[in-house]
Amino acid sequence: MLFSAENERALKNLVKQTKVFLLDMDGTVYIENELIGDMKNTLASIRSSGRRLVYFTNNSSKTVAEYEAKLKKLGIFGEGDFVYTSGTATIEFLNEHYAGKRVYLVGTEGLKGEFAAGGVQISSADEAEVAVLAYDTTLTFEKLTEINRLIAEGKPYIATHPDAVCPAKGVFPPDVGSFIQLLKCSSGREPDIICGKPYTVMGDCIKRRLALPASAIAMAGDRPHTDIRFGNNNGFHTLLVLSGETDAALAERTPDRAEAVAQSLNDLVKYL
């Protein structure tokens, strides 16, 4: 049973052992621009308990600065908090494994600027040595054609994350996972590396950034197949919240089992 005494013990133990919460955003902290319940006070209580908050997202269409601006506008970006995206993880991966290589990035202009500021050499497709696919909300046929050629030619091929769709009101728009399938059909290849949740590149990067063992980190999110699978793949504590994409029925039948389940992140307060 989801909300059994066993689940309550697991939730209490998770909070006790956690020093940093990695928070998925949409569906976990807010839905679009509306905070979930008394989230502002919940996050303040977590900080007051001596724990840190990392806003942790796969969405690579926005920069860290853009996310910070949104969180500040919502009144939930506090001292010691920071934003970490799949784009950030991809920058760190490129600097570790492809330092100095010329990169063709399919991404927004803001993301290109963030990559360049992070030390990645952005180039045209004609000069590129590495192909990187991000969530480009300004995607054009020309961009698809250029990256498809690089992929077909055998250049190293990296994607920021695998989400098929991006959460939104109404019909969900296609995300990087959908782009990956399109390019697989045309080029015959899938990415050599996917950096974001649920894979381990992003997990390894955030452990280095925090200088903490996996046992001190908890992933909290509303998607079993990304958030919870990511936590399990990286040895983190996992908290599934039912405030977003997942309801109680899905939580019961998913193969990606969380360490504990809560109606929302607000349930943590009584265990702090």
197 phi, psi to nearest 5 deg = -55, 140
Number of helices followed by number of strands (H, E) in the chain: 10, 13
Is 26 known as a binding-site position?
A: yes
- Kindly report the backbone phi and psi dihedral angles of residue 173, in degrees, each rounded to the nearest multiple of 5, phi listed first: -75, 155
Spot the catalytic one: 26, 136, 227, 267: 26
Interatomic CA distance for residues 161 and 159, integer angstroms: 6
Give the torsion through C-alpha atoms of 106, 108, 109, 115, to 10 deg.
-70
Q: Is 24 annotated as catalytic?
A: yes
The greatest distance separating any two alpha carbons of the chain, rounded to the nearest whole angstrom, comes to 60
Q: Which of 59, 114, 84, 65 is nearest to 208 (CA)?
A: 84
73 is in an annotated binding site: no
| In contact, 159 and 150? CB cutoff 8 Å | no
Is 270 annotated as a binding-site member? no
Q: Which residues contact residue 208 at a Cβ distance below 8 angstroms, ignoring those fewer than 6 apart?
A: 92
Beta-sheet pairing, 52-57 with 82-85: parallel
136 is in an annotated binding site: no
Pair 111, 105: CB distance under 8 Å: yes
Distance CA 109, CA 156 (A): 22
Q: How far is the C-alpha of 127 from the C-alpha of 53, rounded, in Å?
A: 40
The amino acid present at 147, given as its one-letter code, is: I
Residue 26 annotated to the active site: yes
For the chain, give percent helix, strand, coil, nearest 5. Answer: 45, 20, 40
Binding-site members are 24, 26, 197, 222
Binding-site members for substrate are 197
Active-site amino acid positions: 24, 26
